[in-house]
Structure 1
Amino acid sequence: MKAGNAAVITGGASGIGLAAAKAFIGLGMNVMIADMKGERLVAAKAQLEPLAKEKGVKVLAQPTDVSDLSALEELECAAVQAFGKVHVLMNNAGIQPETGFFGKQMPWDRIIDVNLLGVINGTRIFTPGMVAHGEPALIINTGSKQGITTPPGNPAYNVAKAGVKALTEALQHDLRNREGCKVEAHLLIPGFVFTGLTANGRTEKPEGAWTPEQTVDFMLKSIAKGDFYILCPDGEVDRATDEKRMMWAMGDIVENRPPLSRWHPDYADAFKAFMSGSGDGH
């Protein structure tokens, strides 16, 4: 990422996406934010325009429903027409309505369409052109810790984010095995971030939550270090805790425990001991 490059950010009208747009503009990059058509997208563009003017770069807003394949194709065409080349694609759009296994169909369809297919299709549409232009480029897909530890509750969200993880891993493997390819993929795994998606009616940031700006700053530093997995801590959970939780989740398979044993009453004491360092997970 350098001055004069161009970035496209889905879900760019708020939260992490908007914070990323500000950060990229601060680096002297041209930016196109994509989000659902409406006042929020218009307001986000208005907020970014003074920053872009100060840096002498372009900022554009493209109404886009990432669940619509043709809309993503239009987004790619608009970005190439405006900037010539895309150097950063941030597949960040996401929603989080509650789902239950036997609840209504619509929230399931919408989460899978936006959070998973939106990332799959965005990646498939933009990547060939990014590879072809031959300049260093990045694809950043926003995942979730819920796609790794898959806690009870909202199974559709977990499924979608687990899919984003698998997709991005496969993408990076493909890219690194293409001769001369200068495109890299990264998986952003945010911690507790105070955004419209997580506010749940609150107007003030909880003490333990990070701001979107903190998350993006951590993301940029991690990318500079070459990290693929951008595992973000927050004010409540440090990296060591995240690592142990993830190791326990994988241990369900290795140790042949019941699935989601972290929340199984028969394994509560073993999990507690594992987290405190006094147990080995058996």
Structure 2
Amino acid sequence: MARHPATTAGGLAVITGAASGIGLAAAAQFARLGMRVLLVDVDEARLAAAADQVAAAAPEGRDAVDTFVADVSRRAELGRLATHVGTLPGGADVVMANAGIQPGSRLFGGEDTWRAVIDVNLWGVIDTCRMLVPGMIAGGKPGLVIVTGSKQGITTPPGDPAYNVAKAGVKAFAEALEHELRSTTEGRVSARLLIPGFVFTPLTARGRVEKPAGAWTPEETIAFMMERLEAGDFYILCPDGETTRELDRRRIAWAAGDVIDNRPPLSRWHPDHAEAFKASLADLAGS
């Protein structure tokens, strides 16, 4: 399988939410490939520490790594980022819209939480792409846009509705973006939707200091992402130590079946349908 042409040595990868977790692991991986990396995050101190870590992975060291402090929920700050990227040699070759938060939410909980989650996780993705991707298109080179979604945006389990709503919107946006790019750039610039599994990051730790046995590390997730980029996948649906690809497939198919078969919404958790869902997994060990 061939390496994606946008990830060539000397190209520029711009990654939001790059100070920790999946974003940091992605930055280090692109740096190992010889790319220049621009790490974007809201936390200046953590960003500086992350830059040192990424520089250690880069063949050219600190010269290949730069940082930019920005809150993706603020369009003006993303506008400054786009202006900065436009001044860099060659502009962006890879954009990874990855920044996200997950403070937890309740359906009728505080409005501030809902607005923060939607502003960062949905509008942050939309605005990052709308501000950076036109420059990639204008550059005329191969380009790659990676959008970090979530399985919660596909199967929408109960418990964190604001996050689910935001990530469902991210999925729809990424699909629309890829359609637009393949229709207007003949595939020269393309989009991918990264759908992580259970990954142990600061976002998911919730007070834990040791990685749960079933979780993947961010590095494992990015290694899988790179493999599937080479394979040409749009939906990069990641397994983990608890969940196989087949279990994900059946959960997603069941969620779609709620619409097709006119079952109650979230029927996996409905008393009249939960046992039928469990029965549909009977042949999967450990499901």
TM-score, with normalisation over the residues of structure 2? 0.94
Residue 103 of structure 1 corresponds to 109
Aligned 8 A contact 1:26 1:55 in 2: no
1:104-253 correspondence runs (5 A) = 104-180=110-186, 182-253=188-259
Residue 47 of structure 1 corresponds to 53
| Distance in 1 separating the partners of 2:185 and 2:173 | 20
Greater alpha carbon shift after TM alignment, 59-68 vs 33-42: 33-42
| CA spacing shift, 1:46–1:55, aligned 2, 3 Å | closer
> Is there any run of 5+ residues in structure 1 with no aligned partner, and where?
none
Query: Which one of 28, 31, 34 corresponds to residue 28 of structure 1?
Result: 34
Residue 4 of structure 2 corresponds to none
1:83 aligns with 2:83: no
Aligned 8 A contact 2:171 2:193 in 1: yes
- Aligned partner letter, 1:167: F
Local SS of the residue matching 2:262:
coil
Aligned 8 A contact 2:17 2:23 in 1: yes
Local SS of the residue matching 2:229:
helix
| Distance in 2 separating the partners of 1:138 and 1:217 | 17
| CA spacing shift, 1:180–1:248, aligned 2, 3 Å | closer
| Cα shift at 1:41 | 1.1
| Cα shift at 1:154 | 1.0
1:256 aligns with 2:262: yes
Aligned 8 A contact 2:257 2:263 in 1: yes
- Aligned partner letter, 2:105: T
- Aligned partner letter, 1:150: T
Aligned 8 A contact 1:131 1:181 in 2: no
- Aligned partner letter, 1:252: D
| Distance in 1 separating the partners of 2:244 and 2:272 | 26
- Aligned partner letter, 2:268: R
| Distance in 2 separating the partners of 1:150 and 1:143 | 12
Structural RMSD (CA): 1.4
| Distance in 1 separating the partners of 2:202 and 2:223 | 19
1:9-45 deviation per Cα after TM superposition (whole angstroms, max 9, x unaligned): 0000000000000000000000000001331112111
Residue 93 of structure 1 corresponds to 99
| Distance in 2 separating the partners of 1:218 and 1:53 | 22
- Aligned partner letter, 1:246: I
| Distance in 2 separating the partners of 1:167 and 1:74 | 23
| Cα shift at 1:193 | 0.2
1:87-110 deviation per Cα after TM superposition (whole angstroms, max 9, x unaligned): 000000000011111111111000
- The number of residue pairs the alignment matches comes to 278
Greater alpha carbon shift after TM alignment, 239-248 vs 268-277: 268-277
| Distance in 2 separating the partners of 1:257 and 1:91 | 34
Query: Which one of 39, 55, 60 corresponds to residue 66 of structure 2?
Result: 60
| Distance in 1 separating the partners of 2:159 and 2:55 | 39
Aligned 8 A contact 1:7 1:24 in 2: yes
TM-score, with normalisation over the residues of structure 1? 0.95
1:236-276 deviation per Cα after TM superposition (whole angstroms, max 9, x unaligned): 00000000000000000111100000000111211111122
| Distance in 2 separating the partners of 1:183 and 1:61 | 24
| Cα shift at 1:77 | 1.6
| Distance in 1 separating the partners of 2:171 and 2:178 | 11
Aligned 8 A contact 1:149 1:245 in 2: yes
- Aligned partner letter, 1:78: H
- Aligned partner letter, 2:10: G
Flag as ranges the 4+ runs of structure 1 deviating above 6 A: none
